[in-house]
Amino acid sequence: MEGSQNQFLGNLSGNIPLELSGTAAIEPSGAIEAGSWASFTLVYTAGFYGIDDSGSIKIVSRFASDQTNPQFDDPKAPGYTTVTASNNAKLEVRYDPKGNVRPWDRTLYIKIVNGFMKEGDTITIVFGEQSGGSPGMRLQTFCEDTYEFRVLVDAIATYTYVPVPDQPVINIVPGPPETWRAIAPTTHPAGKPFRLSLKAEDKWGNPSDKVSASVRLRSTPELSGLPETVTFSTGEFAEVIEGLKADEPGTYHIEMLNEAGDVLATANPIRIVEPEAGQLLHFWGDVHGQSEETIGTGSARQYMEFARNKAFVDVTGHQGNDFQITKEFWAELNDIIGEFNEPGRFVTLPGYEWSGNTFLGGDRNVFYMTEDRPIYRSSHALINDLSDVDTDCGTAAELFEKLIENGEDTVCLAHCGGRYADVKVAHDGRVETAVEVHSSWGTFEWILHDALEMGYRMGVVCNSDGHKGRPGASYPGSSKFGAIGGLTCFLTSELTRAAIFDCYRKRRHYGTTGNRMILDVVASFGAEGQLYHDDPALGAAQGSASREAMMGDIVHLPSGNAVLKVHMIGSAPIERVDIFNGLEHLATHRPYAEDDLGDRIRVIWEGAEYRGRFRQVIWDGTAEFTGNRVTRARGINFFNKDKTLDQVSGTTLAWRALTTGNYGGFDVWLEGGMSGSIDIQTPVVSEKVDIGSIGFEDTVFDAGKLGRKLRLFRLPDDNPHFEMTVEQEIALRDEGDNPIYVRVTQEDGNQAWSSPIYIYR
């Protein structure tokens, strides 16, 4: 009881004036590169009250921060930290990643255990002390204008903490460019102008303004208005080229090259189509993330600016935890969202994250059509103003009831982050339209499976759920995150809030793990069916006769089977497309045949420990080849720079890797064909496999828990297939729904999921 009480008191500042709590200063200060190694000296000087015997200070950082944790035992290791008192008082020092109230929960705790501090006495902390051989402290890997070493003081030894009035602050800025990006529309009408957006990112995925270079551009086929060269200047984060145009329908590819002619980046595929009234175009969004006003990084205004000007998404939304959103911030956030909403250019969605515990329903995204709507919180856990506590909804079921009862123009999404949504506990199809199967927290196909098992008719989305201030381009950094944030592709005729809401309600969207591939899924019927957009299982719905349906549609088909046609254009070569009827896997299609296989082996690890927060699976391991040699190796989904694949020798690979429901792995090209064996050792699966037994179909070693497994299969030495069309007849079940959807896997590790077509008798 005492511990939980202390946690609560740690959020109070008591009645001690801030100016009497002391001061703190840090060196070096100013601008420092994200992810760089450094040593910082922070000096706390005691104020009027000093610090009593058993009093303490905390130096805290935000939940999202992924800098090196302090350690006190090994002077040669990263993060070595020393703490000394000027008056030789004895100090107890420890680090606790959950030692303070969120979002400032990462805590260096320093307690006076013998003696006391008087006014003017100092405590000096050296983070990343390098004199003993430590490389120092690595800064967080993402940018922040005002990164605080936040100092809290318990001067009276009551475990009531007061912040010092002027917090030590540094400015974390991007490093030099390492990766180039080119982003263009996915589908666009012929003859109408569009733009191309170019940027360079540092090694951690931050858009870099340290670029001074000219790049060449070329398109296939030729595009009108595309300049031959573009010059980046230091201080600029991106270059946007307006007025590009293509008069002929087709698929266009734009490449960015350096002066030597090497390809730096290839834009997402651009499909130019004949203009037609009401035709569906592809718009990309990441609507799920947070800023520093809750548990994220950077201000809400910076969040919107990043999505629009650096990630170049078409749609975004802000999803702060409801129990941290004060009435004042809710009003400010709605003003910012309204200001940035620009129909036809950039759409913002007002909303918040209902953040109830899992057994009460779990996290839900709530979006409104208009600003200034009520916020129905799951609790007031971190809000002292209880004047609107009577509007709280303690369960997800209560939330859905309240939204419907009050006539809110809203859509909700179920997702998995910390608290995962349990759609079996609560769901209402009148407002909850989709499940989020991928975010920077991992991949969660199980949430779609839960919905299908319950007979719900929901769409599929992917977002970032990012806390690092990079909506639309969210990278994992160096912590236990191992995935890039996802994107949702909205299929709609215009870019407005009304059109995006209509798209959600019709389930006409698909999700990806962050790339912008083109995915079309259409079912045709030999007999006439009745097509619905609103779910007839939820009440009266108007249908229309049709012999064809697209993703998201609901179709009553009295007789006959369906023919599914899937067309995709990838941002990388396509590895496979899997077709599902609900929980049943129907088929796997590949763009190559068994005769095309070469001397390349792919090894994949995937899965999660369980559904909750600590779902990470550690796959650190080795592969030893006997009777063969590796000519080269290439990692798959090693986004986290702390995780590496190393070719130790011609016969040995070693790696550090993790998964959180998603997958990773490597390709090896072998010198001796399919001879010899491979001995794979990981903490989860260890197997010795004859290379000759590895073939066209997956060799699978199941490790239980939540989809943990190791897979091996062969690939062509080179796969040129960026585009693929699949047709398959689907034998429909006579009872219940036939939710037909596809999962596409690219060779580079990216995936996409279509919303199902729901066909029933």
pLDDT digits over 305-323, tens only? 999 999 999 999 999 999 9
Q: What is the pLDDT of residue 10?
A: 37
Is the pLDDT at 358 greater than 50? The verdict is yes
Per-residue model confidence (pLDDT) at position 85: 98
DSSP H helical ranges for 482-637 = 497-506
C-alpha to C-alpha distance for 425 and 415, rounded to whole angstroms: 14
Predicted confidence at residue 480, as pLDDT, reads 73
pLDDT class for 101, splitting at 50, 70, 90? very high
Q: In the chain, what percentage of residues exceed pLDDT 90?
A: 95
The pLDDT score that the predictor gives to residue 642 is 86
**Dist CA 566 CA 137 (whole Å):** 49
pLDDT tens per residue across span 634-685: 999 998 888 999 999 999 999 999 999 999 999 999 999 999 999 999 999 9
What is the per-residue pLDDT for 4?
32
Give the SS3 label for residue 389. helix
Say if residue 180's pLDDT is above 80: yes
Count of CB atoms situated within 10 Å of the CB of 559: 12
Distances, alpha carbon 649 to alpha carbons 381, 441, 692, in Å: 54, 33, 22
Handedness of CA 544, 545, 550, 555 (dihedral sign): positive
Contacts of 539-546 with C-beta under 8 Å, sequence gap 24+, read: none
Q: Identify the helix (H) or strand (E) that includes residue 329.
A: helix 327-340
Task: Give the residue-averaged pLDDT of 725-731.
Answer: 97
Ordered structural domains, the chain, with CATH: 2-173 (2.60.40), 179-277 (2.60.40.1930), 283-516 (3.20.20.140), 592-715 (no CATH)
Range from 9-13, 245-249, 608-612 carrying the lowest mean pLDDT: 9-13
Question: Which of 18-22, 36-40, 420-424, 567-571 has the least mean pLDDT?
Answer: 18-22
Side-chain-side CA neighbours of 380 within 13 Å: the count stands at 12
Instruction: Tell me the pLDDT of the chain averaged across its residues.
Output: 96
Q: Residue 3 pLDDT > 70, yes or no?
A: no
Reported as a single tens digit per residue, the pLDDT across 374-425 is: 999 999 999 999 999 999 999 999 999 999 999 999 999 999 988 999 999 9
The pLDDT, as a whole number, for residue 417 is 84
Q: Quickly state the pLDDT bin for 509 (edges 50, 70, 90).
A: very high
Does residue 594 register a pLDDT over 60?
Answer: yes
Question: Could you say which DSSP state residue 203 is in?
Answer: T
pLDDT digits (tens, 9 = 90+) for 210-235: 999 999 999 999 999 999 999 999 99
3-state SS of 213-261 is EEEEEEEECCCECCCCEEEECCCCCEEEEEEEECCCCEEEEEEEECCCC
pTM, to two decimals: 0.96
CA distances from 693 to 52, 593, 625 (A): 70, 17, 14
Instruction: DSSP for 86-104, please give it.
Output: TT--EEEEEEETTSSSTTS
For 134, the 3-state DSSP assignment is coil
Token representation of residue 280? 């569906």
Q: Alpha-carbon torsion 129, 84, 28, 102, what sign?
A: positive
Quick check: 484 and 286 in contact, CB under 8 A? no
Instruction: Show the 3-state SS of 688-703.
Output: EEEHHHCCCCCEEEEC
Residue 15 has pLDDT above 90, yes or no: no
Residue 14 pLDDT: 59
Query: Are the C-beta atoms of 739 and 582 separated by less than 8 Å?
Result: yes
Which tens digit of pLDDT belongs to each residue from 238-261? 999 999 999 999 999 999 999 999
Please state, in angstroms and as integers, the Cα–Cα distance from residue 670 to each residue in 625, 631, 648, 749, following that order. 10, 6, 15, 21
Residue 12, pLDDT above cutoff 50: no
Residue 285's pLDDT is 98
More confident residue, 418 or 739: 739
Copy the structure tokens of residue 709: 């497994």
Residues whose CB falls within 8 Å of the CB of residue 211, separated by 6 or more in sequence, listed in order? 176, 177, 200, 232, 233, 234, 236
